[in-house]
Amino acid sequence: EAEEKKGPALVVQKLFLESLAPNVTACLKDESEKPREISVGLCRMVLPFLDLEKSKNGGLVFKSFIKPIHHQIGTHPTLEPSEEVRLAMLELTIDMLEYAPRYAVDNLDDLMAISTNSCKDAFPKVKVKVGVLIERIASLVLLRLTDLPASSITQLAGQLAKALASNLKHQRFRVRAAALRGISAVVEAWGCVEQWF
């Protein structure tokens, strides 16, 4: 049964990586909303089959996903006008960290920009979802950045904590709860709280 499932997965992987990836990821920045929405959905759909952790081009594929997401939602002002597409892009980013965690450090600048900018988003569902993204970044990056100086890790942790802290007075309790969970994950991963605020 495992072999039967492997066949279609290999076909999806080969087709996407060899033929579709550049065009689909380009559509993440399309001028029309519908292609952006569909391309995010397609990327999320194929991601589990791509086996980026083992693929020789896994890092390039990860970067080809994260760069257009950064372009759309990681800059201020945010270029992506659709709330639902911004939310879907955050979900894709979280999925990428689940399926290809080893590329988090290599793409840290993009992940930080996406996270800190999304904390300022007006859409409450984005504010909730970015808490989940920051929890993932804290567990993957802050705990594993042993080759960076402690001051750099403290700075990264502080940026994430400060960005989340802006949501602690939000009128919706789910936003406040997500911010608290994110801050807790950052504190657990790197606890130099006195240097952050």
Give me the amino acid identity at 59.
G
Q: What is the pLDDT at residue 3?
A: 47
**10-residue block means of pLDDT along the chain (197 residues)?**
60 80 92 96 92 88 95 94 98 97 92 97 97 93 67 85 96 97 89 52
Question: Distance between CA 39 and CA 30 in Å, rounded?
Answer: 9
Q: What is the pLDDT at residue 144?
A: 63
- Do 88 and 133 form a contact (C-beta atoms < 8 A)? no
Question: Distance between CA 75 and CA 148 in Å, rounded?
Answer: 25
Burial of residue 111 (number of CB atoms within 10 Å: 0-12, 13-18, 19+): buried
Q: What is the pLDDT at residue 190?
A: 73
Question: Distance between CA 153 and CA 155 in Å, rounded?
Answer: 5
Q: pTM for the whole thing?
A: 0.89
**Which residues have a Cβ under 8 Å from the Cβ of 22 and sit 6 or more positions away?**
64
**Tens digits of per-residue pLDDT, 66-108?**
999 999 999 999 999 999 999 999 999 999 999 999 999 899 9
**What are the φ and ψ backbone dihedral angles of 130, each rounded to 5 degrees?**
-70, -25
**Tens digits of per-residue pLDDT, 125-139?**
999 999 999 999 998
